[in-house]
Homo-oligomer: A and B are copies of this chain.
């Protein structure tokens, strides 16, 4: 294994095959238990739209995770529903071996340059990265090889003992894929790459995403992001999670929400 993960822009690259179809190869460095990660798949979709439209940025992307894809060849179908002067609306489907893996709506325009007139949330207060601790690697989450994730020593170790009131965690994030700066593409990955916010609550195993919506809000600056991942409601077998990403200026640069399935260890014990 190389020191760094495959560069995200290369691992998510989209090209045209001899018949003109958009194709990619889903990369093993961006998986969770063998399944390509949702944020990484949104990077691939971003690149497919770039290949089709030539320029612009994601303003919003919503994805239904229809069937879990596997690493290897995949193809993309981009439908431009309406091309506008300021905003273009698209639908993109990613398929593996002829089976739809993800179905996305894309709202395409241009990213704003800050500062914001108004911003509700403030970035997490964390000790500087150099005094923070690396959170443990979870086996099977290869995507964390592409990241340097650091947790405030005062906040941990939330991964050791469940706390029913702690439906969140906060993290420094830098890249370890041979690229120093965050950009619009990598924000899509960053917005869905952390441990589920149900882990501090004691959830078990994988928390598979059903639907993910990411908003890119501003062009990020710098090598470090501060992330806040939290649950909104955990009820029955579902959770809605949010992730907020702040750049080195404290600007909220991306914001995601998702619906996922979830199980808890105490439920397993009850069975």
B117 touches A201 (CB 8 A): yes
**CB distance A120 to B257 under 8 Å?**
no
Known: A107-B210, A211-B105. A233 touches B217 (CB 8 A): yes
Q: Please determine whether B100 and A233 come into contact, CB atoms closer than 8 angstroms.
A: no
Smallest beta-carbon distance A67→chain B, Å: 6
Q: Of the listed stretches A30-38, A81-89, A127-135, A186-194, name the one at the interface; the rest are far from the partner chain.
A: A81-89
Of residues 217 through 271 on chain A, the ones whose CB sits less than 8 Å from some CB of chain B are 217-218, 230-238, 240, 252, 255, 257, 259, 264
CA distance A121 to B152 in the complex (A): 24
Copies in the complex: 2
* Contact yes or no, A213 B255, CB < 8 A: no
In contact, A218 and B235 (Cβ under 8 angstroms): yes
C-alpha spacing A105/B218, complex, angstroms: 25
A182 on the B face (CB < 8 A): no
A168 closest partner in B (C-beta):
B120
Known: A103-B81, A115-B235, A116-B235. A259 touches B66 (CB 8 A): no
With most chain B CB atoms within 10 A of its CB, the pick from A103, A121, A237 is: A103
Given A64-B105, A81-B103, A117-B201, check contact A59 B211 (CB 8 Å). yes
C-alpha spacing A82/B66, complex, angstroms:
7
Evaluate contact between B89 and A215: CB separation under 8 angstroms: no
Within 8 A of B (CB), among A48-94: 59-60, 62-64, 66-67, 81-82, 87, 89, 91
Given contacts A81-B66, A107-B64, contact A236 B113 (CB under 8 A): yes
Please give the number of chain A residues whose Cβ is less than 8 angstroms from any Cβ of chain B in the complex: 53
Asked if A18 is an interface residue, CB under 8 A from chain B, the answer is no
The answer to whether A230 touches B59, judged by C-beta atoms less than 8 angstroms apart, is: no
Q: Is the CB of B232 within 8 A of A119?
A: yes
- CB pair B91 A66 closer than 8 Å: no
A164 at the interface (CB under 8 A from B): yes
Q: Flag if A59 contacts B120 (CB, 8 Å).
A: no
Measured CA separation A63–B213 after assembly (Å): 11
What chain B residues lie within 8 Å of A60 (beta carbons)?
210-211, 259
Contacts of A210 in B (CB 8 A): 59-60, 87, 107
A97 CB within 8 Å of chain B: no
